[in-house]
A and B are shown apart, each in its own frame.
Chain A
């Protein structure tokens, strides 16, 4: 196992190896491939935290929990609410910030605050040639040169090994409430969520699962109370509306949505589907899923399928894509159209000409593509 302590050592290590490498942060996200393990655990620590500039910079191996704690001490948070995959995958380990970025991990607030890649303002990384590279920096508006920051976010270690990541962070909120609708069918639920998300009341979470449709509001206490009331009025036509305002209860509910708790300890494959929200109910009807969770107003569908079911074949001609998050027998990522696949493969070949970094993990991987 390689465990470099800084980017110089990492660069030398990558330049020196001859075989494939499997890059591991906390090992919680279920990314597997062949190769010697290259751990980022030796590169950790918050290198800069400037609350007055809403900026945090940390080395890739830093535990996510350490970052959350540092932010909480100043009343701030990561806007994109990264999910914890351990419950869903039954994995151990400690999530790292580098892993969050490499997999572009977001949560329910993505619908309002953007994904991990939207808060990410800088990366440092070592590519497959062993070159130490950077893009972006520590400021939240930066259009200097190509945005390799976005390219690296969600590249699953196939273009380079992240060494340092920078974020725009946001103030944490005083309180949160949840507006709940009961007994809606999928189509009604998506319509109700669309109505709420299209209102000026800044809904920061819109999910539907187990007969309940959940809408989260966050902010100052008086603001949350006001907005919850307005949403109650707005959604009255969909049936009885309940407002939950115990912050601990609300936090627990949304953690369950974030981590797809209804699928924990249940048998079957888990698929993550990204579609236009109003396309979701009809698509879901054709899946034959054992259970589904709608997040992002319907734009994100988690589906629990009988083992070995080819979900993609059941999606019909809906535009979007499905990733296999738990299970095997199918490619993890949705096949890309030929033009995009060629571009992705070209980029992979430029950053990692020997094809040694997390080979085959994405469709752009040039060993199993």
Chain B
């Protein structure tokens, strides 16, 4: 992936930039030592690295505003960073950029059970938001698999999802308000504890804008009462087609599971070898989970098993206890680790209409043959959000590029069948050049014009989301 050449004039001014930043931040909040900034050279898309000019770790909205004002004045690009767990390169710096990390901003500011919200600083991790309210019977619904580490700031930037979106939606459906600092340092409040914003839905626009429109420093998040219980059923099939048809039938039957997870044979075999969850040997496996009281769960799982039985499953295993539930989820939760045992992998997240599942899985299998690279599929089937894991060897010259070409073909396939390039990871640098496969020039131009309003000098995370060619003139600004 190409990144823009650093601006020599900015590199030459490093000591002045650092000095001005140090003047507005406490000791230790500006990291400029060449060895220390290496900690910020990449995110979870670690194939691409570049140390930034420096990194800053402000502690509150005022400090973020002061930092942005200086960078705006001096024309220095800023790359906001949550916890650095982006799989798409969303927090990848350039050599002439300042990394603005929110890691020190992790306080809970307000918890309100009567109105069912929590207000936090944006550096707080996803799981610790739930951690702050779970003793009182509440939780924060979006649950990306990196939830132990990932920050709310990054969740908002990428509009993160998770396994339970079918019922609870993604970040944008659970976000009530933000404090946003614009590139010129101005602070604006959007939304709040009330449900609907007045005027244009700027909150909806900010969510998923990949840190290109402003820096979110505080967020008001919806919290929900925990369900009384949850239990899954595991269903094995001897073909992907039948599993896909079963997903559609479950959805059509009026049951709304909280999650429908799908694994194909390569993934089943890898997880079985790695974590020994006792999965059946089969082509496709579904884990369907429902929530409610014990009796409600029994009833819903009964309906689901009735539907599944009509598709002649090779295995139908209803969890009757927490222990059995944990065992069913064990394989699914260790799937990424299990695939990582086999080789390096690239994880895509294109989304497709659920009805296209069998065709898309077949095509991915064919492409795997053509490219000579293995692939495992584990994904959220209820909402069509695929996660093909393409296996490659990072030490073998040319293998990464081959995997990237394979990945690009898979994502084009997702778009072709009516889906999209990314369902929850974001575009970042990874899918930047594929935007033209999903959008017309006019569609892209309309988005660029939105950024023009928020960040006329194109300094915030400027080399992301859009093909570099499409933003070149604006970035040269």
Known contacts A52-B354, A139-B383, A142-B423, A148 near B450 by CB under 8 Å = yes
Known contacts A170-B256, A223-B296, A277 near B189 by CB under 8 Å = no
Q: How far is it, in angstroms, between the C-alpha of A350 and the C-alpha of B451 when the chains are bound? A: 10
Q: How far is it, in angstroms, between the C-alpha of A331 and the C-alpha of B425 when the chains are bound? A: 40
B452 at the interface (CB under 8 A from A): yes
Binding stretch for chain A, among B167-175, B333-341, B402-410: B167-175
Nearest CB in chain B to that of A158: its residue: B200
Known contacts A138-B353, A171-B251, A222-B296, A150 near B188 by CB under 8 Å = no
Q: How far is it, in angstroms, between the C-alpha of A198 and the C-alpha of B384 when the chains are bound? A: 30
With a CB–CB cut-off of 8 A, which chain A residues contact B161? 141
What is the distance, in angstroms, from A271's C-beta to the closest C-beta of chain B?
Answer: 12
A340 at the interface (CB under 8 A from B): yes
Number of A-B contacts (CB under 8 A): 257
B325 at the interface (CB under 8 A from A): no
What is the distance, in angstroms, from A101's C-beta to the closest C-beta of chain B?
Answer: 11
What is the distance, in angstroms, from A299's C-beta to the closest C-beta of chain B?
Answer: 5
Is there an interface contact between A323 and B198, defined as CB atoms closer than 8 Å? yes
A interface, size bucket: 35 or more
Is there an interface contact between A197 and B116, defined as CB atoms closer than 8 Å? yes
Binary interface profile of B, 268-301, with partner A (CB < 8 Å = 1, else 0)? 0000000000000000000000001101100110
Known contacts A142-B423, A200-B228, A222-B296, A52 near B195 by CB under 8 Å = no
Which one of A144, A334, A350 lies within 8 Å of B438 (CB-CB)?
Answer: A144
What is the distance, in angstroms, from A3's C-beta to the closest C-beta of chain B?
Answer: 24
Which residue, of B182, B192, B435, B444, has the highest number of chain A Cβ atoms within 10 A?
A: B192
B114 at the interface (CB under 8 A from A): yes
Is there an interface contact between A54 and B226, defined as CB atoms closer than 8 Å? no
336-368 of chain B: CB within 8 A of chain A: 351-355
Q: How far is it, in angstroms, between the C-alpha of A323 and the C-alpha of B196 when the chains are bound? A: 11
Is there an interface contact between A141 and B165, defined as CB atoms closer than 8 Å? yes
What is the distance, in angstroms, from A81's C-beta to the closest C-beta of chain B?
Answer: 14
With a CB–CB cut-off of 8 A, which chain B residues contact A277? 114-115
Is there an interface contact between A144 and B431, defined as CB atoms closer than 8 Å? yes
Is there an interface contact between A53 and B188, defined as CB atoms closer than 8 Å? no
Binding stretch for chain A, among B63-71, B388-396, B413-421: B413-421
Is there an interface contact between B354 and A53, defined as CB atoms closer than 8 Å? yes
With a CB–CB cut-off of 8 A, which chain A residues contact B247? 52
Binding stretch for chain B, among A24-32, A38-46, A114-122, A250-258: A114-122
Q: How far is it, in angstroms, between the C-alpha of A50 and the C-alpha of B417 when the chains are bound? A: 13
Is there an interface contact between B115 and A194, defined as CB atoms closer than 8 Å? yes
B interface, size bucket: 35 or more
Which one of B300, B353, B427 lies within 8 Å of A145 (CB-CB)?
Answer: B427
Is there an interface contact between B453 and A75, defined as CB atoms closer than 8 Å? no
Known contacts A142-B423, A350-B452, A340 near B204 by CB under 8 Å = no
Is there an interface contact between A141 and B383, defined as CB atoms closer than 8 Å? yes
Is there an interface contact between A147 and B226, defined as CB atoms closer than 8 Å? no
Is there an interface contact between A364 and B201, defined as CB atoms closer than 8 Å? no
What is the distance, in angstroms, from B228's C-beta to the closest C-beta of chain A?
Answer: 5
Q: How far is it, in angstroms, between the C-alpha of A336 and the C-alpha of B352 when the chains are bound? A: 38
Known contacts A139-B418, A347-B453, A350-B450, A151 near B204 by CB under 8 Å = yes
With a CB–CB cut-off of 8 A, which chain A residues contact B309? none
Binding stretch for chain B, among A59-67, A129-137, A239-247: A129-137
293-348 of chain A: CB within 8 A of chain B: 296, 299-300, 319-321, 323, 333-334, 336-337, 339-341, 343-344, 346-348
Which one of A118, A139, A333, A346 lies within 8 Å of B198 (CB-CB)?
Answer: A333
B209 at the interface (CB under 8 A from A): yes
Known contacts A141-B170, A350-B450, A276 near B354 by CB under 8 Å = no
Known contacts A147-B208, A343-B454, A278 near B115 by CB under 8 Å = yes
B324 at the interface (CB under 8 A from A): no
Nearest CB in chain B to that of A195: its residue: B114
Q: How far is it, in angstroms, between the C-alpha of A8 and the C-alpha of B465 when the chains are bound? A: 28
A282 at the interface (CB under 8 A from B): no
What is the distance, in angstroms, from A345's C-beta to the closest C-beta of chain B?
Answer: 9
Q: How far is it, in angstroms, between the C-alpha of A145 and the C-alpha of B420 when the chains are bound? A: 10
224-257 of chain B: CB within 8 A of chain A: 225-228, 247-249, 251-256
Is there an interface contact between A333 and B199, defined as CB atoms closer than 8 Å? yes
Known contacts A148-B446, A194-B114, A340-B202, A140 near B172 by CB under 8 Å = no
Is there an interface contact between B256 and A171, defined as CB atoms closer than 8 Å? yes
Q: How far is it, in angstroms, between the C-alpha of A364 and the C-alpha of B201 when the chains are bound? A: 12
With a CB–CB cut-off of 8 A, which chain A residues contact B447? 145-146, 148
B371 at the interface (CB under 8 A from A): no
With a CB–CB cut-off of 8 A, which chain B residues contact A150? 172, 201, 203-205, 207
B426 at the interface (CB under 8 A from A): yes
Is there an interface contact between A198 and B114, defined as CB atoms closer than 8 Å? yes
Residues of A within 8 A of B (CB): 50-55, 74-75, 104, 110-111, 114-115, 117-118, 127, 131-135, 137-151, 153-155, 159, 170-174, 191, 194, 197-200, 220, 222-223, 226, 274-278, 296, 299-300, 319-321, 323, 333-334, 336-337, 339-341, 343-344, 346-348, 350-351, 362-364
Cross-chain pairs A/B with CB under 8 angstroms, 13 sampled: A54-B251, A139-B420, A143-B159, A144-B422, A145-B439, A146-B451, A151-B201, A198-B116, A274-B194, A276-B112, A343-B188, A350-B453, A364-B200
